[in-house]
């Protein structure tokens, strides 16, 4: 096996290996950028950092992939002590202090695991092909294709039952992502597409949001959750609570004896942490998240840290912190600072998450926001949501582009990225998905 060395590595420097360039990994790397005595190598299976909170906008044709993705290499290019590699981590040898990648092995003095999460179909992986989840750019463009193609098929068919099937969209899972998807399809069918078809009336589209629990958005107060439900219903979304999906196939969704015939089913129900922790023999919780110590390190391995969606940190509230961007970002920064301090001989401290609140958007101009005791809903909440998301979006160019696209969509009710893009052409049988973006640095290799 090929063991690679950082080209600038010196014997007295500490080698920090970061796996994952999401919110956690990227922020750990930024904290260590330019620090003397530290050599950082960040490896990600994609060459870009993805701003997942706006991924639903790509799936719903509001934004293009490059608006929410930035090449990791460019984000870290200012730091001479930092290298970026494209690759997939396959296994970890904790005692031997090395990680096996698809391109070779890398040794480390410190390891930061920040591989995020993936979807969980609760033991029914066979549902995935009928009901894609939303976690990557490839999945977002696939969802966009399915959602837009269903309208096109409905316009073509003459059988009313088939037409109804194409115009029925089921979203499974009433958390923030499910709510965002349902609201966006409702809005698209009622407003954006209302004048574009001749044989169908897009406003007759059925959008059904299925939730197993008694209410949508259970992480919000009941009052806010009810407000979100009312706003969704105004966009034509039907909300089915206390409804458990028992099967999904090419005919639609089954909920016990109930069947919904639908051509498009989207999955926003469950997540599970990256398999890398489980494969590495680490202690994990029931969602595959690695159990970490108060300083985010692994029990018995103080030089190995786990952060973000991949970590289960229970030392603050007794239960794991939520899988959100602020948790990942703050944990990444904390780990970067911990390593920085340790190199300078300073002691470690305990991680503490500063919760600044939560928000979810519903359609083009409504949202709910909870910040401590402050609860906002409707248009003003949506403005707050917009400002926060643009503020945290990575890259100045992306911020400008997103604001311009939103302003245009808001004023015109249009969606700029309403393109049905097939998989890229390739002479081989195996085809790779591509984006139609203007940013040639962002490429999308096949999902793993």
Ligand X SMILES: Cc1cc2nc3c(=O)[nH]c(=O)nc-3n(C[C@H](O)[C@H](O)[C@H](O)COP(=O)(O)OP(=O)(O)OC[C@H]3O[C@@H](n4cnc5c(N)ncnc54)[C@H](O)[C@@H]3O)c2cc1C
Under 8 Å between Cβ of 408 and 364: no
> Has 180 been annotated as catalytic?
yes
Q: How far is the CB of 344 from ligand X (least distance, A)?
A: 26
Which residues 6+ apart lie within 8 Å of 327 measured at CB?
308, 313, 321, 353
Catalytic residue, from 180, 187, 272, 293: name it.
180
Binding site for ligand X (CB under 6 A): 19-25, 43-46, 52-53, 55-56, 88-89, 114-116, 134-135, 176-177, 274, 276, 308-310, 323-326, 328
Using the minimum distance from each CB to ligand X, give the nearer residue, 175 or 236: 175
DSSP 425: P
Return the bridge partners of 70, or none: 49
Which residues 6+ apart lie within 8 Å of 279 measured at CB?
91, 92
Q: How far is the CB of 80 from ligand X (least distance, A)?
A: 23
Length of the chain: 448
Using the minimum distance from each CB to ligand X, give the nearer residue, 165 or 415: 415
Determine how many CB atoms are found less than 10 A away from the CB of residue 410.
13
User: What secondary structure does DSSP assign to 73-138, as a single string?
Assistant: HHHHTT-TTEEEEE--EEEEETTTTEEEETTEEEE-SEEEE---EEE--TT-GGGTTTS-B-SSHH
Backbone angles phi, psi at 238, to 5 degrees: -90, 135
Q: Residue 168 is inside which H or E element, if any?
A: strand 168-172
Using the minimum distance from each CB to ligand X, give the nearer residue, 81 or 361: 361
Q: How far is the CB of 324 from ligand X (least distance, A)?
A: 3
3-class SS at 4?
A: strand
Phi-psi region of 191 (alpha: psi -120 to 50; beta: other; left: phi over 0): alpha
DSSP 200: S
Q: Rounded CA gap, 69 and 398, in Å?
A: 8
Q: How far is the CB of 135 from ligand X (least distance, A)?
A: 5
Phi-psi region of 303 (alpha: psi -120 to 50; beta: other; left: phi over 0): alpha
Q: How far is the CB of 355 from ligand X (least distance, A)?
A: 11
Using the minimum distance from each CB to ligand X, give the nearer residue, 154 or 362: 362
Using DSSP bridges, classify how beta strands 110-113 and 14-19 pair: parallel, antiparallel or unpaired: parallel
* Residue given tokens 């398999």 in the structure block: 275
Return the bridge partners of 306, or none: 113
Q: How far is the CB of 441 from ligand X (least distance, A)?
A: 15
Q: How far is the CB of 268 from ligand X (least distance, A)?
A: 8
Structure token digits, residue 138: 């490839």
Using the minimum distance from each CB to ligand X, give the nearer residue, 100 or 375: 100
Handedness of CA 302, 303, 309, 310 (dihedral sign): negative
Under 8 Å between Cβ of 268 and 173: yes
Using the minimum distance from each CB to ligand X, give the nearer residue, 99 or 210: 99
Burial (Cβ within 10 Å: 0-12, 13-18, ≥19) of residue 65:
buried
3-class SS at 136?
A: coil
Using the minimum distance from each CB to ligand X, give the nearer residue, 163 or 435: 435
Using the minimum distance from each CB to ligand X, give the nearer residue, 202 or 277: 277
Q: How far is the CB of 140 from ligand X (least distance, A)?
A: 8
Which residues have a catalytic role annotated?
180
């Amino acid at each position: 096996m090929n063991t690679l060395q950082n080209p600038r590595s010196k014997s007295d420097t500490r080698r920090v290996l970061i796996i994952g360039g999401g919110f956690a990994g990227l922020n750990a790397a930024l904290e260590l950028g330019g620090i003397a005595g530290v050599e950082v190598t960040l490896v990600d299976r994609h060459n870009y950092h993805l701003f997942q909170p706006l991924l639903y906008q790509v799936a719903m044709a509001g934004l293009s992939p490059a608006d929410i993705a930035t090449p990791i290499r460019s984000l870290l290019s200012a730091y001479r002590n930092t290298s970026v590699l494209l690759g997939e981590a396959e296994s970890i040898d904790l005692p031997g202090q090395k990680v096996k990648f698809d391109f070779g092995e890398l040794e480390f003095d410190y390891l930061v695991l920040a591989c995020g999460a993936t979807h969980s179909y609760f033991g029914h992986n066979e549902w995935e092909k009928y009901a894609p989840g939303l976690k990557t750019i490839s999945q977002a463009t696939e969802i966009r294709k399915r959602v837009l193609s269903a309208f096109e098929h409905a316009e073509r068919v003459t059988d009313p039952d088939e037409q109804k099937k194409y115009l029925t969209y089921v979203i499974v899972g009433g958390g923030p992502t499910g709510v965002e998807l349902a609201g966006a399809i409702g809005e698209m069918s009622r407003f954006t597409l209302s004048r574009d078809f001749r044989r169908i009336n897009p406003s007759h589209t059925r959008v059904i949001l299925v939730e197993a629990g008694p209410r949508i958005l259970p992480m919000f107060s009941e009052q806010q959750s009810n407000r979100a439900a009312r706003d969704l219903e105004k966009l034509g979304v039907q909300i089915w609570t206390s409804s458990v999906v028992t099967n999904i196939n090419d005919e639609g969704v089954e909920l016990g004896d109930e069947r919904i015939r639908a051509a498009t089913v989207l999955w926003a129900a469950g997540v599970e942490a990256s398999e890398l922790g489980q494969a590495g023999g680490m202690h994990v919780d029931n969602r595959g998240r690695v159990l970490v110590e108060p300083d985010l390190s692994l029990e018995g391995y103080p030089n190995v840290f786990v952060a973000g969606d991949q970590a289960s940190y229970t030392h603050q509230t007794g239960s794991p912190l939520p899988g959100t961007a602020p948790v990942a970002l703050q944990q990444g920064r904390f780990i970067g600072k911990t390593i920085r301090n340790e190199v300078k001989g300073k002691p470690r401290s305990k991680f503490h998450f500063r919760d600044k609140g939560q928000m979810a958007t519903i359609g083009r101009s409504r949202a709910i926001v909870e910040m401590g005791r402050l609860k906002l809903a409707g248009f003003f909440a949506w403005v707050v949501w917009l400002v926060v998301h643009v503020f945290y979006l990575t890259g100045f160019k992306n911020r400008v582009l997103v604001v311009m696209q939103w302003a245009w969509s808001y004023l015109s009710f249009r969606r700029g990225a309403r393109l049905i893009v097939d998989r890229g052409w390739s002479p081989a049988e195996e085809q790779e998905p591509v984006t139609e973006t203007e940013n040639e640095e962002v490429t999308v290799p096949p999902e793993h």
